[in-house]
């Protein structure tokens, strides 16, 4: 069963060079923001990128990227995702008839719907597919990552300070090992806040202890970023804002590409 699923995922991703799954210990730490920004940042570096919104609970990527009105096109028996700045974006939200209606499927069905969507999509030639997995290391992220597993690939972990981060890192390491994914490191989101008046750095959520893990990027709290997300203008923000957070997000893409392409 799993082998058959893996075979069809492999076939559907034949034109995709690298898969990067984005993990988090829990919801609300910025996993979708990081997934979408990473795909945009990779595209800015000239990579052909796609992002798969595989988090069925918090399906927010189409909104962040201003695609809430966009639709998936159908070509033969394949789904063709809409694009933003060259990034192909796939999400169940882009298939739903009634946008905004909560999806009330239970776990196994949800994971299956995501995998069906993944295999029905015409991904084309892509250097990177970034996957926003459901939070945690439970059944849903596991099922989806397992289906992707045949492809191998990379993982990054998004954390915010003050959430027993060491514990979360250890779990993510185990998850990645079991699934044959290479954990590239940790993205520390909401890591600090720089006072716009005096430039002093505050760490309102506490310090971040990630043990031995590599910190790929530290993203500060930035009201301008929160605003861009709310307005569906995240892609423009990542591409052209001169803020520290935007530079950190672009730096993340460069770091990830560097690590992946070094082998």
Ligand X SMILES: Nc1ncnc2c1ncn2[C@@H]1O[C@H](COP(=O)(O)OP(=O)(O)OP(=O)(O)O)[C@@H](O)[C@H]1O
Region binding ligand X by CB under 6 A among candidate stretches 10-18, 92-100, 116-124, 216-224: 216-224
Give me the 104-143 binding string for ligand X, x by CB under 6 A, dash otherwise. -------------------------------x--------
Question: What is the dihedral angle through the alpha carbons of 9, 144, 122, 18, rounded to the nearest 10 degrees?
Answer: -80
Choice between 37 and 121, CB closer to ligand X: 37
As beta bridge partners, residue 84 has 87
Q: Residue 212 CB, nearest distance to ligand X (Å)?
A: 24
Q: Residue 176 CB, nearest distance to ligand X (Å)?
A: 18
Q: Residue 51 CB, nearest distance to ligand X (Å)?
A: 12
Nearest-5° Cα angle at 21, 20 to 22: 120
**Please, which of residues 34-73 interact with Mg ion by CB under 5 A?**
55, 58, 60
Q: Which tokens hold the place of 80?
A: 């063709």
For ligand X, the binding residue among 16, 20, 25, 30 (CB under 6 A) is 30
* Residue whose C-beta lies closest to Mg ion: 32
Give the separation between CA 67 and CA 186, rounded to whole angstroms.
Answer: 28
**Nearest residue to 172 via CA among 158, 153, 151:** 158
Helix (H) or strand (E) holding 184: strand 182-189
Give the separation between CA 182 and CA 188, rounded to whole angstroms.
Answer: 18
Choice between 49 and 245, CB closer to ligand X: 245
Q: For residue 201, state whether it binds ligand X (rule: CB under 6 A).
A: no
Torsional class of 86: left (φ above 0), alpha (ψ -120 to 50), beta (otherwise): left
Backbone angles phi, psi at 110, to 5 degrees: -65, -45
Region binding ligand X by CB under 6 A among candidate stretches 54-62, 83-91, 123-131, 172-180: 54-62
Q: For residue 32, state whether it binds Mg ion (rule: CB under 5 A).
A: yes
Residues that bind Mg ion (CB under 5 A): 31-32, 55, 58, 60
């Amino acid at each position: 069963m799993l082998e058959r699923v893996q075979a069809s995922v492999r076939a559907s991703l034949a034109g995709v060079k690298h898969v990067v799954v984005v993990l988090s210990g829990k919801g609300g730490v910025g996993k979708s923001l990081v997934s979408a920004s990473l795909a945009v940042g990779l595209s800015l570096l000239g990579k052909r990128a796609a992002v798969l919104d595989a988090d069925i609970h918090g399906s927010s990527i189409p909104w962040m990227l201003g695609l809430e009105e966009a639709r998936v096109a159908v070509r033969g028996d394949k789904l063709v995702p809409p694009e933003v700045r060259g990034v192909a974006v796939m999400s169940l939200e882009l298939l739903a008839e009634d946008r905004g209606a909560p999806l009330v499927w239970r776990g196994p069905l949800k994971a299956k719907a995501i995998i069906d969507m993944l295999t029905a999509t015409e991904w084309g030639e892509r250097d990177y597919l970034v996957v926003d997995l459901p939070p945690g290391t439970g059944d849903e992220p596991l099922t989806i990552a397992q289906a992707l597993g045949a492809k191998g690939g990379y993982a990054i972990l998004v954390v915010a300070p003050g959430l027993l981060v060491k514990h979360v890192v250890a779990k993510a390491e185990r998850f990645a090992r079991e699934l044959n994914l290479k954990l590239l490191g940790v993205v520390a989101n909401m890591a600090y806040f720089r006072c716009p008046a005096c430039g002093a750095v505050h760490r309102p959520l506490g310090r971040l202890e990630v043990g031995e893990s590599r910190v790929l990027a530290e993203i500060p709290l930035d009201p301008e970023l929160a605003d861009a997300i709310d307005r569906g203008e995240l892609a423009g923000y990542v591409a052209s804002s001169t803020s520290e957070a935007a530079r950190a997000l672009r730096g993340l893409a460069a770091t990830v590409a560097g690590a992946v392409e070094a082998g």
